[in-house]
Protein backbone atom coordinates (compact mmCIF):
# COMPACT_ATOMS: atom_id res chain seq x y z
CA UNK A 1 0.00 0.00 0.00
CA UNK A 2 1.15 3.53 -0.77
CA UNK A 3 1.11 5.31 2.58
CA UNK A 4 2.54 8.70 1.64
CA UNK A 5 1.06 11.46 -0.49
CA UNK A 6 3.87 13.79 -1.57
CA UNK A 7 1.97 16.37 -3.59
CA UNK A 8 -0.72 18.07 -1.54
CA UNK A 9 -2.05 21.64 -1.59
CA UNK A 10 -3.72 23.69 1.13
CA UNK A 11 -5.08 27.21 1.49
CA UNK A 12 -1.49 28.49 1.20
CA UNK A 13 -1.94 27.81 -2.51
CA UNK A 14 -3.98 30.52 -4.19
CA UNK A 15 -6.07 27.87 -6.00
CA UNK A 16 -7.12 26.01 -2.82
CA UNK A 17 -9.18 26.96 0.23
CA UNK A 18 -8.56 23.74 2.15
CA UNK A 19 -7.20 24.15 5.69
CA UNK A 20 -4.13 21.98 6.31
CA UNK A 21 -5.94 20.30 9.20
CA UNK A 22 -8.69 19.03 6.87
CA UNK A 23 -6.12 17.39 4.60
CA UNK A 24 -4.25 15.86 7.52
CA UNK A 25 -7.45 14.48 9.04
CA UNK A 26 -8.40 12.96 5.69
CA UNK A 27 -4.94 11.37 5.47
CA UNK A 28 -5.27 9.91 8.96
CA UNK A 29 -8.72 8.54 8.14
CA UNK A 30 -7.19 6.70 5.16
CA UNK A 31 -4.48 5.16 7.32
CA UNK A 32 -1.64 7.11 5.72
CA UNK A 33 1.73 7.42 7.43
CA UNK A 34 2.89 10.64 5.79
CA UNK A 35 1.55 13.76 4.14
CA UNK A 36 3.83 16.27 2.45
CA UNK A 37 2.37 19.69 1.72
CA UNK A 38 3.74 21.14 -1.52
CA UNK A 39 2.02 24.47 -1.87
CA UNK A 40 2.46 26.52 -5.03
CA UNK A 41 5.26 29.04 -5.32
CA UNK A 42 5.34 30.50 -8.81
CA UNK A 43 7.48 33.64 -8.67
CA UNK A 44 6.72 36.22 -11.30
CA UNK A 45 3.39 34.65 -12.27
CA UNK A 46 1.87 37.02 -14.86
CA UNK A 47 -0.53 39.53 -13.38
CA UNK A 48 -2.94 38.90 -16.25
CA UNK A 49 -4.09 35.84 -14.31
CA UNK A 50 -6.29 36.23 -11.25
CA UNK A 51 -4.22 33.95 -9.03
CA UNK A 52 -0.77 34.79 -7.69
CA UNK A 53 0.50 31.31 -6.73
CA UNK A 54 2.72 32.72 -3.99
CA UNK A 55 2.59 32.51 -0.20
CA UNK A 56 4.22 33.91 2.93
CA UNK A 57 6.96 31.37 3.66
CA UNK A 58 7.37 32.30 7.34
CA UNK A 59 3.64 31.86 7.92
CA UNK A 60 3.77 28.55 6.01
CA UNK A 61 6.55 27.14 8.19
CA UNK A 62 4.88 28.40 11.33
CA UNK A 63 1.60 26.71 10.40
CA UNK A 64 3.28 23.49 9.24
CA UNK A 65 5.21 23.21 12.49
CA UNK A 66 2.04 23.62 14.53
CA UNK A 67 0.11 21.11 12.42
CA UNK A 68 2.98 18.60 12.50
CA UNK A 69 3.10 18.82 16.28
CA UNK A 70 -0.65 18.59 16.75
CA UNK A 71 -0.91 15.35 14.74
CA UNK A 72 2.52 13.90 15.51
CA UNK A 73 1.14 10.73 17.12
CA UNK A 74 -1.01 9.89 14.09
CA UNK A 75 0.94 10.96 11.01
CA UNK A 76 4.15 12.60 9.88
CA UNK A 77 3.59 16.02 8.30
CA UNK A 78 6.37 17.12 5.93
CA UNK A 79 7.29 20.54 4.60
CA UNK A 80 7.45 20.64 0.84
CA UNK A 81 6.98 23.10 -1.98
CA UNK A 82 6.02 23.04 -5.66
CA UNK A 83 8.15 25.52 -7.59
CA UNK A 84 6.84 26.92 -10.85
CA UNK A 85 9.87 27.08 -13.10
CA UNK A 86 10.89 29.77 -15.51
CA UNK A 87 14.46 30.05 -16.70
CA UNK A 88 15.18 33.40 -15.01
CA UNK A 89 14.01 32.23 -11.56
CA UNK A 90 16.72 29.69 -10.70
CA UNK A 91 18.73 31.91 -8.35
CA UNK A 92 15.65 33.09 -6.47
CA UNK A 93 14.41 29.53 -5.95
CA UNK A 94 17.87 28.38 -4.92
CA UNK A 95 17.95 31.12 -2.27
CA UNK A 96 14.47 30.22 -1.03
CA UNK A 97 15.46 26.56 -0.66
CA UNK A 98 18.68 27.57 1.13
CA UNK A 99 16.90 29.92 3.51
CA UNK A 100 14.25 27.47 4.77
CA UNK A 101 14.47 23.84 5.94
CA UNK A 102 12.24 22.24 3.34
CA UNK A 103 11.86 18.45 3.30
CA UNK A 104 11.01 18.24 -0.37
CA UNK A 105 10.96 20.36 -3.54
CA UNK A 106 9.03 19.59 -6.71
CA UNK A 107 10.01 21.45 -9.88
CA UNK A 108 7.04 21.98 -12.18
CA UNK A 109 6.29 24.04 -15.22
CA UNK A 110 2.97 25.87 -15.17
CA UNK A 111 3.74 28.46 -17.86
CA UNK A 112 5.04 28.21 -21.40
CA UNK A 113 5.90 31.55 -22.97
CA UNK A 114 4.11 33.07 -19.97
CA UNK A 115 0.84 31.32 -20.86
CA UNK A 116 -0.83 28.79 -18.57
CA UNK A 117 -1.82 25.70 -20.61
CA UNK A 118 -4.74 25.21 -18.21
CA UNK A 119 -6.50 27.94 -20.22
CA UNK A 120 -7.62 27.65 -23.89
CA UNK A 121 -5.60 30.73 -24.85
CA UNK A 122 -2.40 28.67 -24.83
CA UNK A 123 -3.91 26.15 -27.25
CA UNK A 124 -5.16 28.75 -29.73
CA UNK A 125 -3.73 27.88 -33.17
CA UNK A 126 -1.80 24.94 -31.71
CA UNK A 127 -2.36 21.26 -32.19
CA UNK A 128 -1.98 18.95 -29.20
CA UNK A 129 1.35 17.84 -30.59
CA UNK A 130 2.65 21.38 -31.08
CA UNK A 131 1.63 22.33 -27.54
CA UNK A 132 3.27 19.27 -26.04
CA UNK A 133 6.46 19.77 -28.04
CA UNK A 134 6.76 23.36 -26.82
CA UNK A 135 6.14 22.23 -23.26
CA UNK A 136 8.75 19.46 -23.35
CA UNK A 137 11.31 21.87 -24.86
CA UNK A 138 10.58 24.28 -22.03
CA UNK A 139 11.18 21.55 -19.44
CA UNK A 140 14.58 20.79 -20.92
CA UNK A 141 15.53 24.44 -21.08
CA UNK A 142 14.55 24.91 -17.44
CA UNK A 143 16.25 21.87 -15.97
CA UNK A 144 19.41 22.65 -17.88
CA UNK A 145 19.75 25.79 -15.77
CA UNK A 146 18.22 24.72 -12.43
CA UNK A 147 19.10 21.57 -10.53
CA UNK A 148 18.03 22.35 -6.98
CA UNK A 149 14.91 20.19 -6.97
CA UNK A 150 14.16 16.67 -5.76
CA UNK A 151 11.71 15.49 -8.41
CA UNK A 152 10.26 16.90 -11.58
CA UNK A 153 6.48 17.20 -11.19
CA UNK A 154 3.67 15.81 -13.37
CA UNK A 155 5.97 15.53 -16.38
CA UNK A 156 3.34 15.32 -19.16
CA UNK A 157 0.38 16.86 -17.32
CA UNK A 158 -0.57 19.37 -20.02
CA UNK A 159 -2.04 16.43 -21.93
CA UNK A 160 -5.07 16.91 -19.65
CA UNK A 161 -5.81 20.27 -21.25
CA UNK A 162 -4.76 19.48 -24.84
CA UNK A 163 -7.41 19.66 -27.58
CA UNK A 164 -7.34 15.87 -28.00
CA UNK A 165 -7.14 15.26 -24.21
CA UNK A 166 -4.16 13.02 -24.80
CA UNK A 167 -6.02 10.46 -26.87
CA UNK A 168 -3.40 10.71 -29.62
CA UNK A 169 -0.43 10.59 -27.24
CA UNK A 170 2.42 8.28 -28.13
CA UNK A 171 5.75 8.51 -26.38
CA UNK A 172 7.45 7.69 -29.67
CA UNK A 173 6.43 11.11 -31.05
CA UNK A 174 8.56 12.78 -28.36
CA UNK A 175 11.18 10.11 -27.72
CA UNK A 176 14.24 12.26 -28.38
CA UNK A 177 13.23 15.21 -26.20
CA UNK A 178 11.87 12.96 -23.44
CA UNK A 179 15.11 10.98 -23.40
CA UNK A 180 17.07 14.20 -23.06
CA UNK A 181 14.81 15.33 -20.20
CA UNK A 182 15.02 12.01 -18.36
CA UNK A 183 18.78 11.70 -18.86
CA UNK A 184 19.30 15.25 -17.57
CA UNK A 185 17.21 14.54 -14.47
CA UNK A 186 19.15 11.31 -13.91
CA UNK A 187 22.51 13.03 -14.40
CA UNK A 188 21.66 15.25 -11.43
CA UNK A 189 20.67 12.26 -9.29
CA UNK A 190 17.09 13.58 -9.17
CA UNK A 191 13.78 11.82 -9.67
CA UNK A 192 10.31 12.19 -11.10
CA UNK A 193 6.94 12.17 -9.46
CA UNK A 194 3.95 10.11 -10.52
CA UNK A 195 0.90 12.31 -10.17
CA UNK A 196 -2.56 10.74 -10.02
CA UNK A 197 -4.51 13.91 -10.81
CA UNK A 198 -4.61 12.78 -14.45
CA UNK A 199 -7.15 10.15 -13.40
CA UNK A 200 -9.56 12.92 -12.39
CA UNK A 201 -9.41 14.22 -15.95
CA UNK A 202 -10.05 10.78 -17.42
CA UNK A 203 -6.47 10.43 -18.64
CA UNK A 204 -3.50 8.44 -17.39
CA UNK A 205 -1.39 9.32 -14.37
CA UNK A 206 1.35 11.83 -15.18
CA UNK A 207 3.68 10.87 -16.61
CA UNK A 208 2.26 8.18 -18.90
CA UNK A 209 3.37 4.68 -17.96
CA UNK A 210 5.50 4.46 -21.13
CA UNK A 211 7.53 7.42 -19.83
CA UNK A 212 7.82 5.80 -16.39
CA UNK A 213 8.99 2.60 -18.10
CA UNK A 214 11.62 4.53 -20.04
CA UNK A 215 12.78 6.31 -16.87
CA UNK A 216 13.18 2.94 -15.13
CA UNK A 217 15.03 1.44 -18.10
CA UNK A 218 17.49 4.35 -18.02
CA UNK A 219 18.25 3.44 -14.40
CA UNK A 220 15.84 5.81 -12.65
CA UNK A 221 14.70 4.71 -9.23
CA UNK A 222 13.54 7.88 -7.45
CA UNK A 223 9.75 7.95 -7.86
CA UNK A 224 7.56 9.96 -5.53
CA UNK A 225 3.79 9.61 -5.58
CA UNK A 226 1.36 12.49 -5.26
CA UNK A 227 -2.31 13.20 -5.77
CA UNK A 228 -1.93 16.96 -6.35
CA UNK A 229 -5.10 17.21 -4.25
CA UNK A 230 -6.42 20.68 -3.59
CA UNK A 231 -9.44 19.35 -1.64
CA UNK A 232 -9.66 16.57 0.97
CA UNK A 233 -11.70 14.33 -1.37
CA UNK A 234 -8.81 14.36 -3.82
CA UNK A 235 -6.15 13.39 -1.28
CA UNK A 236 -4.37 10.14 -2.27
CA UNK A 237 -6.68 10.06 -5.30
CA UNK A 238 -6.84 6.62 -6.96
CA UNK A 239 -3.64 5.46 -5.24
CA UNK A 240 -4.68 1.75 -5.32
CA UNK A 241 -5.19 2.06 -9.09
CA UNK A 242 -1.74 3.58 -9.52
CA UNK A 243 -0.21 0.95 -7.28
CA UNK A 244 -1.38 -1.76 -9.70
CA UNK A 245 0.10 0.17 -12.66
CA UNK A 246 3.45 0.57 -10.88
CA UNK A 247 3.60 -3.08 -9.82
CA UNK A 248 2.91 -4.11 -13.42
CA UNK A 249 5.90 -1.99 -14.43
CA UNK A 250 8.03 -3.95 -11.96
CA UNK A 251 8.32 -1.10 -9.45
CA UNK A 252 8.96 -2.48 -5.96
CA UNK A 253 9.74 0.72 -4.07
CA UNK A 254 8.67 4.33 -4.07
CA UNK A 255 10.39 7.34 -2.59
CA UNK A 256 9.66 9.84 0.13
CA UNK A 257 11.89 12.73 1.20
CA UNK A 258 12.91 14.12 4.56
CA UNK A 259 15.24 17.09 4.81
CA UNK A 260 15.67 16.85 1.01
CA UNK A 261 17.06 13.29 1.33
CA UNK A 262 15.38 10.35 -0.42
CA UNK A 263 14.11 7.34 1.53
CA UNK A 264 12.79 4.21 -0.22
CA UNK A 265 9.61 2.56 0.98
CA UNK A 266 8.32 -0.84 -0.17
CA UNK A 267 5.32 -0.79 -2.48
CA UNK A 268 3.83 -3.92 -1.01
ZN1 LIG B 1 1.64 21.61 -10.67
ZN1 LIG C 1 0.38 20.81 -7.57
Q: What's the pLDDT tens digit per position in 30-67?
A: 999 999 999 999 999 999 998 999 999 999 999 999 99
Write down the pLDDT at residue 268: 78
Q: Please give the mean pLDDT across all residues of the chain.
A: 97
Q: List, as one string, the DSSP characters of 2-53.
A: --EEEEE--TTSTT----HHHHHHHHHHTT-SEEEEEEEE-TT--TTSS---
pLDDT digits (tens, 9 = 90+) for 97-131: 999 999 999 999 999 999 999 999 999 999 999 99
Whether the per-residue pLDDT at 149 is higher than 90: the answer is yes
Query: Residue 193 is part of a domain; what is its CATH number?
Result: 3.20.20.140
Ligand 1 centroid – CA 150 distance (Å): 14
What does the alpha-carbon distance between residue 119 and residue 115 come to, in Å, rounded to a whole number?
8
- Closest ligand to Cα 157: 1
- Closest ligand to Cα 107: 1
Ligand 1 centroid – CA 108 distance (Å): 6
Model confidence, pTM: 0.98
pLDDT digits (tens, 9 = 90+) for 176-217: 999 999 999 999 999 999 999 999 988 899 999 999 999 999
Ligand 1 centroid – CA 91 distance (Å): 20
Whether the per-residue pLDDT at 168 is higher than 90: the answer is no
Domain total of the chain: 1
Ligand 1 centroid – CA 44 distance (Å): 15
Ligand 2 centroid – CA 235 distance (Å): 12
Residue whose C-alpha is closest to residue 138's, from 152, 127, 120: 152
Q: Could you list the residue range(s) of the whole structural domain that residue 198 is in?
A: 4-266
> In terms of residues, how long is the chain?
268
Amino acid sequence: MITADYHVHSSFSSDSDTPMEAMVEKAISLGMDRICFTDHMDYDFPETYELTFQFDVDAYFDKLSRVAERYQHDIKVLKGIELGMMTHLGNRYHKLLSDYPFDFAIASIHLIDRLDPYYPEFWKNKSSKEGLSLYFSSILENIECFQDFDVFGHLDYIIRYAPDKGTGFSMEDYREILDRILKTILSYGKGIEVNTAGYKYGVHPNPHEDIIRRYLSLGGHILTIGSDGHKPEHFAYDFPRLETVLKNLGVKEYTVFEGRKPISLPLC
